[in-house]
Amino acid sequence: MRVFTALWPSEAAVRDLSEVLDEQRAAWSALSGELRGFRFVSAGQWHLTLCFHGDGADPDEVAEKLRTGVAALRENDSEFTVPELRLAGAGTFRGVLWTGVVPGGEPETRDRRDRLLRALARTAGADPRRFRPHVTVARWARGTLDPSRIPHRLTEYTGPVWSAGELAVVASERGRGGVRYRTVHRIPLLPS
């Protein structure tokens, strides 16, 4: 079992991006002939990974560390709030097509929300300088996708704003039919 900390996009954000990808199935079909093993990630698995904890990590220990870290963030930052985020733009890593995750809300609060997102990644255990907020939407085994070939509608995409009210400790389990994600713990960002 692999364990990671994530933020799940809202249903509205997932639905909106799904519609954009569905509009472009013909363009993706042409690319899939060049990219061996090209496949879309199920929309139900779309998430923003804050930190990958690895194989065999104890989800209970990860959750306790997150609870303590989030409490410290709230205590030390009088302006701590739930981050407002949106899915926007697109790009590639080796074998991965992604859409970015950027701060939402009013322009004057975006830098603050970006710092908050990076603080959450640091609290989860990631290096905030190397943190590249994104959601993986497709994968392939071989081949290179020149970013200029990503359909314009996706590179210019800006989805609806959603609030990330909790961190999720997720178990990634391989079984029949592929990988399955299961949220093991939910850590609210604000006290109830």
Furthest CA-CA distance within the chain: 52
* Residues in CB range of 109: below 8 A, 6 or more apart: 84, 103
Which residues is 171 bridged to in the sheet? 3, 182
How far does Cα 136 stand from its chain's mean position?
7
Q: Is 185 a catalytic residue?
A: no
Name the catalytic one among 47, 53, 152, 185: 47
* Sequence-ordered strand ranges (E) for 48-125: 48-55, 84-93, 96-103
Name the catalytic one among 53, 134, 152, 185: 134
Q: Is 152 a catalytic residue?
A: no
How far does Cα 190 stand from its chain's mean position?
20
Catalytic machinery residues: 47, 134
